[in-house]
Amino acid sequence: MSVSRVVVGVSGASGAAIPVRILECLAEIEGIETHLVVSNAARRTLAQEVGPDALGRMLSLATRNHAIDNVGAPIASGSFTTAGMIVAPCSMRSLAGIATGLSDTLLIRAADVHLKERRRLILLTRETPLHLGHLRNMCVVTEMGAIVMPPVPAFYHRPASVEEIIDYLAVRAIDLLGLPIAPLAREWQG
């Protein structure tokens, strides 16, 4: 069976529970190899928003973990083939780095590689409200081929808990990768 590699980048915006759920979902799917890179600021938001065990749980869920300063990791090279990358959540700092090709961290470099190799890049950009620079950076990355998916909940499914909202955002982000699997998100039937 062929293996699909997925890179999960976690930066220091609010919504740290989302990548934990993304990794839980991906770990349940056969034939997926996950590569995790967590920014230094994300270590803080994970501890603040999810708890002291969150980082350890994510590290244990991922197939491979890469240090944020290891710009020589396999995911820093276009020759290392992947099915796509999700940055969840994506801070305005990391967004700016991706928009300008700054590539000073492994997370931003891996995102840059996905853009240059014309692979799927899903950015769960999170800030509110947004200034013109944030909005412009979202336009720039969209023009370069990324999919901007702010983690905005849908209410038509009538979520009963925060966990349901997080679950919905996680599966929608995974579905956007276009992996060779059935969609995970429940379809709206009208």
Helix (H, G, I), strand (E, B) or coil at 160: coil
Between 48 and 142, whose beta carbon lies closer to ligand FMN? 48
Helix (H, G, I), strand (E, B) or coil at 134: helix
Nearest approach in angstroms of CB 130 to ligand FMN is 10
* The one-letter amino acid at 28: E
CA 118, CA 103: separation in Å to the nearest integer?
17
Helix (H, G, I), strand (E, B) or coil at 88: strand
Q: Which residues bind ligand FMN (CB under 6 A)?
A: 11-14, 39, 41-42, 44-45, 48, 91-94, 105, 126-127
67: tokens are 């240090």
Nearest approach in angstroms of CB 80 to ligand FMN is 22
Nearest approach in angstroms of CB 110 to ligand FMN is 13
Between 4 and 9, whose beta carbon lies closer to ligand FMN? 9
Segment (H or E) for 169: helix 162-176
Nearest approach in angstroms of CB 180 to ligand FMN is 31
- When CB distances to ligand FMN are compared, the closest residue is 12
Segment (H or E) for 65: strand 64-66
Exposure on the CB side of residue 27, measured as CA atoms within 13 A: 15
Between 85 and 184, whose beta carbon lies closer to ligand FMN? 85
